[in-house]
Structure 1
């Protein structure tokens, strides 16, 4: 990995990292502020029941006895759907900026014109991408930790940390196939369109699998099916195997990305 290129690209992406991180933390503070007020309401037990069963399933809300724990609350309000969609958009945007965009615009000619190997260049871009995902995931956890501490909401921090690791592994998969397609297509417009379509299909399969038990097997065909934050936070699922599976997928995709980048005839 090339240190100079790494810090230059990370600086270039810093505004986006900061914007997403501050936005996530602000939202987490807002919904955590409302949690103590909400659980004191006498109608809190009836609110989840007011939604149709498919909607409850899609957002990870218990269809039996309503769960009013903070873990269930934050999963429904943020982690279950909104965060996975947001981190996917972020991963697509970042991988596109780090590969497809600079290839199409010809900016890749600069690092490749220096005594830096293609392997160093692609490893650096991958390193920047993973660093960004770590920072945004850390900001997500930091927002939850700080907000719950300030509003005196008791949580199991270790469970949230494990959930964060699983979330990072999921975001790495989306970002990895996005970067691979950016290298293969050499076109920002085509790669973004194709990656967005693939991600939409994966995300849609996960949502459909949650709507009805009859469609539950669909979650086996999408990486999003491995991310069930409420189950992890409540200790009913150990995320180790899921993290390993997602890590193997993203690792293989990034390995193929590096192989293709080193051998592809790049138009720069």
Structure 2
């Protein structure tokens, strides 16, 4: 159960950040999509992927088996493979911190806690706002690809990108989920943000290492980022049902624990 007044107030409070990230992503997608038709007309485009070392191909999700100059492979390498995961992680940490640790530390949570609104309603509302923000940013990512592809007459598999968007949303909820848990538990953004950022960098680094060499492949079992493989989804090699379920279970557990801690803990307001 959420509080409608608090929900819309917090969504308005976070609105500029959501719009900024969404417009920035869509602009970047339009720029790289505009370049794509020009690139594929170049006579050397098919030889270009072969010039990269195998570890670099693995790290950026470029196919090692064959030369792939499809838009799906292009957008995965230019945006979805690495850049987007890092950006949505930064956004998730920032949003969850703004909705919990920052408000608690600065005393902004004093009013809703003193009002006739239960703690469950407050934390459920903050979680609802967080999920709404992530949904909007992920939706802007997929929508930007749809609109850019249509404008520049690039043929794409819309359902493939939709499935990729669902998987990306699930990944973003994991990062945001443990960020909120740290924020509520530690009750200080000066402590929680560096810890969450360090944990995210470790997870991200382990994913990069696992893709660089077969020797490090086992590291993918300890990082949620390894479950996000956009090119495999877009090429139809992966139906990400299991990956979405695993990520949803992790994020659901983190958000449930965040609510439990918020309701039980003596919060300094």
Residues 1:170 and 2:168 aligned together: no
Q: State how far apart, in whole Å, the 2-side matches of 1:209 and 1:174 are.
A: 19
Residues 1:9 and 2:10 aligned together: yes
Structure 1 residue aligned with 2:29: 28
User: What displacement does 1:54 show?
Assistant: 1.1
Listed one character per residue, the Cα deviations across residues 11-58 of structure 1 (whole Å, up to 9, x for unaligned) are: 000000000000000000000001111011001012112222211110
Q: State how far apart, in whole Å, the 2-side matches of 1:220 and 1:20 are.
A: 30
Superposition RMSD in Å: 0.6
Q: State how far apart, in whole Å, the 1-side matches of 2:208 and 2:88 are.
A: 16
Q: State how far apart, in whole Å, the 2-side matches of 1:56 and 1:245 are.
A: 26
Structure 1 residue aligned with 2:265: 264
Residues 1:150 and 2:145 aligned together: no
User: What displacement does 1:63 show?
Assistant: 2.2
Q: State how far apart, in whole Å, the 1-side matches of 2:165 and 2:73 are.
A: 15
Q: Which moved more, 1:6-15 or 1:61-70?
A: 61-70
Q: State how far apart, in whole Å, the 1-side matches of 2:64 and 2:90 are.
A: 29
TM-score, normalised to structure 2's length?
A: 0.99
Structure 1: which 5+ residue stretches go unaligned? none
Structure 2: which 5+ residue stretches go unaligned? none
Question: Matches of residues 242-257 of structure 1 in structure 2 within 5 Å?
Answer: 242-257=243-258
Q: State how far apart, in whole Å, the 1-side matches of 2:65 and 2:256 are.
A: 44
Listed one character per residue, the Cα deviations across residues 94-130 of structure 1 (whole Å, up to 9, x for unaligned) are: 0000000001001111101100000000000000000
Q: State how far apart, in whole Å, the 1-side matches of 2:210 and 2:68 are.
A: 21
Q: Which moved more, 1:126-135 or 1:213-222?
A: 213-222
Structure 1 residue aligned with 2:200: 199
